[in-house]
Amino acid sequence: MSRETVINWALALGLLAVPFLALMQGEPFYITLATRVAILALAGVGLNLALGLGGMVSFGHAAFFGLGGYAAGILATHAFNQEPLFAWPFMVSGSNDMLLIWLVAIVLSAVVAFLIGLIALRTSGVYFIMITLAFAQMIYYFAISWPAYGGEDGLSIYVRNGFPELNTLDPIQFFLICYVVLMACLFISARLRDSRFGAALQVARQNPERLAATGIAPFNIRLVAFVISAAMTGLAGALFADLNRFVSPSMLSWHVSGEIMIFVILGGVGRLFGPLAGAALFIVMEFYLGGITEHWQFFLGIILLCVVLFVRGGILGILAGRRVHG
């Protein structure tokens, strides 16, 4: 087993242990915190696929995070009010079944990512960063000014959505749902990375001409990766809405795009478990610094800056050492 594998296992088991320790200590709040880490890590796992593997620096993943959140919020609201979502051309009603909501969140994010990708992937470098940002801003302003679902005030989910056979209101059970989803997506990421598709994606990043010479269009490979990446982040958004029992346009803001990116970079770009390590560290810092000083953002900034400047390769870079392959 390589050092990175050991650390990955430690991270996975460590996250799993937190809520149970919290329960033993009678501190249920830490379960919520661990759930938050799991969900935000999932958003990062999604971005990591585009960013780490495909080299696509998306500064607009908040769009998918927010869309996933709104999918959950809107369906739940309609279910709560017992109003159909739309009655024509066929009847679609709301739902508070998590599985269905996840599916909608995934499909919605994927479709939007496909459309954005069609345009954005024609560009590269800074242009790509900025055009993804622009699309996210478009959706953000749309959400703020669209009155039907609360606009800037957002949308409350009065009863957390349900999962067959489980009580999602129980923090531990909800944590476990999020944890399993996170692990499943990590597993999918790992399989994708080691598949022929993953190999093609990495070649598309490093040497697109070579890939084109083999008859595979780099554009298509990137587009597929971008869509999968967005779908995972969208799924995280749906879970995040359920965690907070609330969605609002702030999930779509460019700060969120920046934060998701921070999780990935903090943990180590392209590392499978990087987003988990990064999200965990970020949340813990936000939580403790916020309790110590009202100027916590100042210190958070300094810490982040030091990480970028002096710790190349993120947390997993320090712990697991440099990667063998390039």
Partner 1 sequence: MTLALFIEQLLNGIQFGVMLFLMAAGLTLVFGVMGLINLAHGSLYMIGAFLCATVALATGSFWLGLVASLAGAAAAGAIVEIVVIRRLYDRDHLDQVLATFALILIFSEGTRWVFGSFPLYLDIPAALQGAVSLPGGAQYPLYRLSIIVVGVLIAFGLYLLISRTRLGMRIRAGESDREMIGALGVDIRTLYTVVFALGAALAGLAGALVGAIQSVQVGMGEPVLILAFVVIVIGGIGSIKGALIGAILVGVVDTLGRILLPNFFELFMGPSQATSVGSALASMAIYILMAIILAVKPQGLFAAGSQ
Partner 2 sequence: MKKLIAASLLGLGLTVSAGALAEPVKVGMITTLSGGGSGLGVDVRDGFMLAAKMAGNKDLEVIVEDDARKPDLAVQIADKMIQKEKVDVLTGIIWSNLAMAVVPSAVGQGVFYLSPNAGPSMLAGKGCHENYFNVAWQNDNLHEAMGGHANSAGFKKTFILAPNYPAGKDALTGFKRFYEGDVADELYTKLGQTDYAAEIAQIRASGADSVFFFLPGGMGIAFMKQYAQSGVDIPVMGPAFSFDQGILGAVGEAALGVKNSSQWSKDIDNPANKAFVEAFQAEYGRLPSLYASQGFDTANLILSAMQKADVKDADAFRAALKEADFDSVRGDFKFDSNQHPIQDIYVREVIKEGDVLTNKIIGVGLEDRSSAYVGDCKL
- Residue 297 Cβ vs partner 1, minimum distance, rounded to whole Å: 4
- Residue 257 Cβ vs partner 2, minimum distance, rounded to whole Å: 14
Tell me which of partner 2, partner 1, none is bound by residue 32, counting a contact when its beta carbon lies within the kind-specific cut-off of 5 to 8 angstroms: partner 2
Tell me which of partner 1, partner 2, none is bound by residue 158, counting a contact when its beta carbon lies within the kind-specific cut-off of 5 to 8 angstroms: partner 2
Backbone angles phi, psi at 36, to 5 degrees: -60, -45
Token pair recorded at residue 309: 């400047």
Residue 279 binding partner 2, by CB under 8 A = no
Q: Using the minimum distance from each CB to partner 2, give the nearer residue, 28 or 321.
A: 28
Give the residue from 21, 18, 48, 47 showing the smallest Cα distance to 35.
18
Tell me which of partner 1, partner 2, none is bound by residue 244, counting a contact when its beta carbon lies within the kind-specific cut-off of 5 to 8 angstroms: partner 2
Q: Contact 205/54 with Cβ under 8 angstroms?
A: yes
- Residue 292 Cβ vs partner 2, minimum distance, rounded to whole Å: 6
Tell me which of partner 1, partner 2, none is bound by residue 170, counting a contact when its beta carbon lies within the kind-specific cut-off of 5 to 8 angstroms: none
Residue 80 binding partner 2, by CB under 8 A = no
Residue that the structure tokens 């959400």 belong to:
143
d(CA 69, CA 236): 8
Residue 170 binding partner 2, by CB under 8 A = no
- In the beta sheet, which residues pair with residue 86? 92
Footprint on this chain of partner 1 (rule: CB under 8 A) = 51, 57, 59, 119-120, 122-127, 129-131, 133-135, 137-138, 141-142, 144-147, 254, 258, 261-262, 265, 269, 295-298, 300-302, 304-305, 308-309
Q: Using the minimum distance from each CB to partner 2, give the nearer residue, 66 or 314.
A: 66
Site mask, partner 2, residues 137-156, x = CB under 8 A? Answer: ----x--xx-x--xxxxx-x
Q: Contact 283/76 with Cβ under 8 angstroms?
A: no
d(CA 9, CA 186): 12
Tell me which of partner 1, partner 2, none is bound by residue 83, counting a contact when its beta carbon lies within the kind-specific cut-off of 5 to 8 angstroms: none
Q: Contact 215/194 with Cβ under 8 angstroms?
A: no
The residues that touch partner 2, with contacts defined as CB under 8 A, are: 27-30, 32-33, 36, 141, 144-145, 147, 150-154, 156, 158, 240, 244-246, 248, 250-251, 255, 286-287, 290-297
